[in-house]
Every structure is written in structure tokens, then in C-alpha cells.
Amino acid sequence: MAATRTAAGDGMASESASPSGGPAEAWNVYQPHDQRPWDLRQAAHLYRRAAFGGAWAELQQAFQDGPARTIDRLVRPPGDMSTFQRSYDGYDQAAGPAGTDDTARAWWLRRMIESPHPLLEKMTLFWHSHFGISRTRVVKGTMMVSLVHVLRRHALGNYADLLAAALRLPAVVRGLEADGNRKSRLNANLARQLLAQYGPGVGEFDEQDVRETARALTGWLMLRDDLRFVDREFDGGPKRILGQAGNWNADDAVRIVLQQPATARHLVRSVYRWLISETDEPDAQLLAPLTASFHRDYDIGRLVETMLRSNRFFSAAAYRQRVRSPVELALGMIRPLEGNVPTLRLGSDLAALGQDLLRPPTVKGWFGGRYWLNPAAMTGRVNLAAALLTPGGAYGAGLDAHAVARRHGRSDPAAAAKFLVELLLGGDVSTQVRDRLAERAARGGANDLPERLREAAQDLCTLPEFQLA
């Protein structure tokens, strides 16, 4: 590989500030060099953001291949995905009619853990929050399963297609309590959400726009759990939406919403928070190149790929600038430690930490950031790490740090402790933490090593650094 690399575990690469040169330089493709080398630290950063976390073989392959080929593999994984997706779609469909969330939630977590395309699941989770539809307001489990399938199908596709498909789903209409939008009795819930969350965003429309959009959406009614168009309930009069006048229907309303540059700005900003940073508020000038490109055709995959390949993504402006959600936290232990844990229990524990899959708390989804780090949640995160890593407990055999270290040739206590630091945190911890873990691992005899490494892994998974993606 032509790029400069830093050997795994050989200390921290010099981290430059956000690339200078303005927006164009920020979104140019990252080319490793002496000041910003491609190393294990950067590979781990990429896998945390794009894949929940990397197993050792994935991190080592990424280190050898470099960023370009690694991102190619994350965006377009080799091999045929269809068999895997069909199998899990079947599991989901079987779970839906049961009428409870637990099984469907468990199958989604299992898919996240085992998926050969984790970026697709990461973006499906993003859209799940963005659309903000909760099972609390949806009568049938099959409706939620269908919603998640649509989100996944379009997660890296085209946002115009995703939005059009979502607005035709019973889960969305019922989840927003927009069941009966008739010309004689307007229901503006869906119209408001289309403008405020799925479209240009708050501040870019007024109440008249909401009313006129609601009129365009009339006629779509829930009848016996099916969404159907009833022509006599459609308001066929002229309407004015976001400055455009005409005899608009639902398709026209969506088209007008997507024509707004503010819609592209709103979505790009949301994806920026998801993939790059939720601690800064990027100005419009920085996002302008991405917004202009996205507004042309709403290609989600190209937007995601541009962000992942960029100088901005591999700069200090992005590094550990997101708090891991409970799902990201758990998978950040399970995928690297190559575990197979019971996901029924996991779904319940993640719900207790505030991220109940299929039940976003508001129509704006989960707020993220500091909201994940209140004192009660931090205690829960420590308890979850302990439960996942404790053999014979709530998670059966649990995650076996000792077995993973041995599998990758680290049988010596000091080597195993160093391996865990590199695996779980890309080697990026203080010298004091490294020394403490190495000292603990070296105590006692060979029979005690599994327990000492379990304690070391638990320590690493409860560090402040591990809470950040």
C-alpha cells in the first residue's frame, strides 16, 4: 500500500486539526501521509462509525488494505447478500404476527451482529430514528416489520424513493395518528411531520403550508389496517405549498418538499451528526458541497460514501465526537469479541438503557449525544458490560476475551492485555491505562488468566473513551 502506516500499538499518530482549505478540502478524499497516517487507530474509528466495531481480522485487513479499499468493502461488501437478507426477512415476518416487540427486536439485533453488511444496518438504524415511528402507536407488529424492511431496502439508496415508500406504509400513517385525513375533517399530523422532520425542517414553513399540505394528503385512509386511497375524500381544490400553487395531491406534495434546498440541508446535517460529529454545529458553507450534490438526486449511498472517505471524517473534528447509543455500545463489544449472545435479553437491557428498538421515544427519534450519558444510564452501561462479559450469568457463556485473544495468537498475559486495548479501542488509551491492564494481567497463574482478561475487557468497555464512537 502506498499510504504511510503506523504499526499497531506503536503510539498515537499525530492528529491534525480539521483540514484547512475550506469545504472543498474537507470533503476531498483522505490521502494518508506522515502527519495523518493510516493506522490501527484510524481503522478502528472507521469501523466504529460504519460497522458498530471491527473484529480483529477486519481491523487487520483494513490496516493492510488502506482506507479506499476498506471503504469499498464496507459500502459494497463482496459476495451475495441475498441469501442472508432473505433468511432474516423471513425471521422478521414470522416474528411480526406474534403481536409483541420482543422477538422482532431480537431478530433485528441478531441481524446487526451477524450481518456481512453492517453499514446497511447502521443506516437502517439511522432512518428508524429519523422517521420516529413507534410501536406504541402501531397496532400490528407486522406493520413495524414492514416499515423496518422499507427503511433497510432504501437505507443506502434514494431518499425520494424512501420517502415515497414510507408515506404509503400503514405504520407511518398510524404511528403519526394520521388515520383519518378527510377533506371535511383535516388531520395535519402527517403533513407537519413531512415538513418538519422528513422535509425542509422547522423554520422553513408556516402553518398555512401545513394546512395546504394536509389538504394534498387527503383521501388516504386506514381501512381495516390497510392504507387505501378513497377518491371522494380527496380535496381536489387548488393549494399553495411552499410557494407553489396548483391542484396538488400527495405525490405533488412530496415532489415540492424534495425540491426545497432546505430539505437537502436538513438531511445532510442529520447524516453529518450520525457519521461525523454531534458536538459541533457545522456552518452551511462547510456542508454546501454535500448539500448541492445531495439535492440533485438524493443519493444516500453517495452522500454516506463521500463522508466516510473525506478528510473531515479522518480529522480531529470527527474523532470520538459522537456518543455511542446503547445499541452501538453493545455491538461495539459483541462484534469485536466475536460473541453470540441471546438477543431477547439484549433487547430488553437496551430498552432499559433508553434505546428500545421499534419504540423511538418521540416523532423526532432518539436525541442522542449527552442524553445517553445521565448518571443512571452510566450505571446501566457498566452493568451491561459486566453482564455481557460474565460467564454463567444473564448472557450464558458471555463474551470470552481470553478465548478471542488466544484465537489470535495472544496467550502471553501482557500480549493479551495489549491485544484487548488494540481490539476494543484501536490502541488509543493512556499509558497509565495500558500499564495498569498489563500489570493486572500478569498477576497470578495461568488458571486465573481468563478471569483477569475478563476484568481487563470490562475495564476497557467502561472507560469514558469507549462510550464515544
User: Closest by alpha carbon to 265, among 317, 200, 310?
Assistant: 200
Is the distance from CB of 227 to CB of 221 less than 8 angstroms? yes
**Annotated domain spans of the chain:** 401-467
Residue 443: what pLDDT?
Answer: 83
Cell reading at 75 = 459500502
Model pTM score:
0.94
425-437 pLDDT, tens digit per residue, is: 999 999 999 988 8
Is the distance from CB of 100 to CB of 141 less than 8 angstroms? yes
Q: What does residue 244 show for φ and ψ, rounded to 5 degrees? A: -110, 125
- The CA angle 192-196-163, to the nearest 5 degrees, is 85
- The CA angle 17-21-25, to the nearest 5 degrees, is 85
Q: 371 vs 86, 183, 269, 375, 469, CA distance in Å?
A: 36, 40, 19, 10, 15
Residue 169: what pLDDT?
Answer: 96
Residue 5: what pLDDT?
Answer: 37
Residue 100: what pLDDT?
Answer: 67
Residue 13: what pLDDT?
Answer: 36
In the numeric block, the cell 490502541 is attached to 427
How far is 291 from 313, CA to CA, in rounded Å? 16
User: Closest by alpha carbon to 49, among 122, 109, 158, 103?
Assistant: 122
How far is 269 from 337, CA to CA, in rounded Å? 33
Residue 23: what pLDDT?
Answer: 93
Is the distance from CB of 178 to CB of 190 less than 8 angstroms? yes
Residue 92: what pLDDT?
Answer: 87
Cell reading at 58 = 477486519
pLDDT-flagged residues of the chain (< 70): 1-21, 98-100
In the numeric block, the cell 454516506 is attached to 304
Q: 26 vs 6, 45, 252, 304, 449, CA distance in Å?
A: 23, 17, 36, 14, 46
Kindly give, in sequence order, each residue whose CB lies less than 8 Å from that of residue 325, ignoring residues fewer than 6 positions away: 355, 366, 368, 372
Residue 9: what pLDDT?
Answer: 37
Residue 246, strand partner residues? 239
